[in-house]
Amino acid sequence: MSENPDLMEERTLESERIYEGRILALRVDRVVLPGGRETRREVVEHVDCVAIVAIDLEDNVILVRQFRSPAERVLLEIPAGGIEPGEEPLESALRELEEETGYIAGKMERLGGFYSSPGYSTEFLHLFLATELRKGLGAPVEDEVIEVVPIPLRQIPGLILSGEVSDAKSIAGLFTVILGRKEVRK
């Protein structure tokens, strides 16, 4: 695949942070395009996150149901959360899985990662597969109300196609696991 010279990197001339909150910041960058033209980019700065596809011994995917204020609806999602300062992605994945679902993973495998919305956000999600699950204590963050929902893996494609699972990180994570399974690749 050859590289298109018109798609070379932009160069940032200056950045101005115009908002800094608890979970994100917003900056406006003045950039110069490869052809020399200047423009502006609005960038949401967000810490890197983890997303976990957790599968129990009965081949159920452990999903969480919670109200998402920006979407103004309850969503069915894979467990996920931000990486704390000084924390490695694996540590974060283990912590988030237990906090949100009450499960501890006997095995946690990194499956890669992806940007959530690279057109305007810096957020990168590290994707993990959690297996050999056992019940732990679970300790949801005090501002989260979460319902744990085990769903048979075979039902996941239908939930995605119907729109019941509709957030990008869950769709990307679930399809990564489904397409990576040996029985699917035959």
Q: Hey, what are 82's tokens?
A: 């931000």
Strands 60-68 and 147-152, by their bridges, are antiparallel
Between the CA atoms of 119, 68, 73 and 96, what dihedral angle is there, to the nearest 10 degrees?
Answer: 110
| Active site positions, annotated | 142
**Distance in angstroms (rounded) separating the CA atoms of residues 110 and 126:** 7
Please report the DSSP string for 70-125 in residue order: GGTEEEEE--EEEPPTT--HHHHHHHHHHHHHSEEEEEEEEEEEEES-TTTB--EE
Q: Are the beta carbons of 28 and 18 closer than 8 angstroms? A: yes
